[in-house]
Structure 1
Amino acid sequence: MLPEEGVNAVRAVVALLVRGHYEELETLTEGRRYTASDMAATIARSGRDLISPPEEAFRAVDAVAAPQEAADERAFHVEFPLWTAQEGRSDMAVGLVVSEVMDGVWTVALEGIRVP
């Protein structure tokens, strides 16, 4: 189960995607795997308009434990569904790795945006 601080990291990523703040999201994730231009291109290709998911969606975050780089680190793979103006909950999803690197300090890596 993903702790509330990890859920807040997911919430922040989704909010930035919905607002189209891709550069800010790239900064947040240190551009490790997905750049702002990658994000913008993927969303544009989808032809859909992202909207904020209902709060209940964040209560059901599906997280799977991931291997840690350090012994005192916790990490989780998250595949979070996205909502669109056209569909509501869509078949699009954002893939993340959410990690607690120090007690109460969380980082997030954007692995990609799935658009079937």
Structure 2
Amino acid sequence: MLPEEGVNAVRVVVGLLVRGEYEELETLTEARRLTAAEIAAAVARHGRDLISPPDAAFREVDAVAVPHEPADEHAFHVEFPLWTAQDGLSDLTLGLTVTEVMDGVWTVELDGVHTA
């Protein structure tokens, strides 16, 4: 189960994605996997308008623990369903990895926006 601080990290990332703040996402994730241009292209490729999910969606974050080095860090892979103006709950998902690097301090890596 993803701790509340990890859920908050997911909430921040989804908010930035929905608002189209791709440069901020690139900064937040240190462009580890995707640049702002790649994030924008992934969203545009699907041709739908992202909207904020209901708060209930964040209470149901499905996270899978993944092995991580160093061993004292905790990492989780998340496939978070996205909502669109066209579909409501859509078949788009945001793949990301959230890692607790220090007590209460989380980093995020974007894996991509794709269909489920």
Same fold (TM over 0.5): yes
Counterpart Cα distance in 2 of 1:71 and 1:42: 32
Unmatched 5+ residue regions in structure 2?
none
Count of aligned pairs: 116
State the Cα deviation string for residues 15-59 of structure 1 (Å, max 9, x = none).
000000000001000101011101111111211000000000000
Displacement of 1:115 after TM fit? 3.5
Residue 6 of structure 1: SS of its match in structure 2? Answer: helix
Residue 35 of structure 2 corresponds to residue 14 of structure 1: no
The answer for the alignment partner of 1:99 in structure 2 is: 99
The answer for the alignment partner of 2:90 in structure 1 is: 90
Is the 1:42–1:115 contact (alpha carbons within 8 Å) kept by the matching residues of 2? Answer: no
Give percent identity, aligned residues only. 73
Moved over 2 A (4+): none
TM-score by length of 1: 0.97
The answer for the alignment partner of 2:25 in structure 1 is: 25
Structure 2 letter corresponding to 1:35: T
Structure 2 letter corresponding to 1:16: L
The answer for the alignment partner of 1:54 in structure 2 is: 54
Residue 111 of structure 2 corresponds to residue 114 of structure 1: no
Displacement of 1:6 after TM fit? 0.1
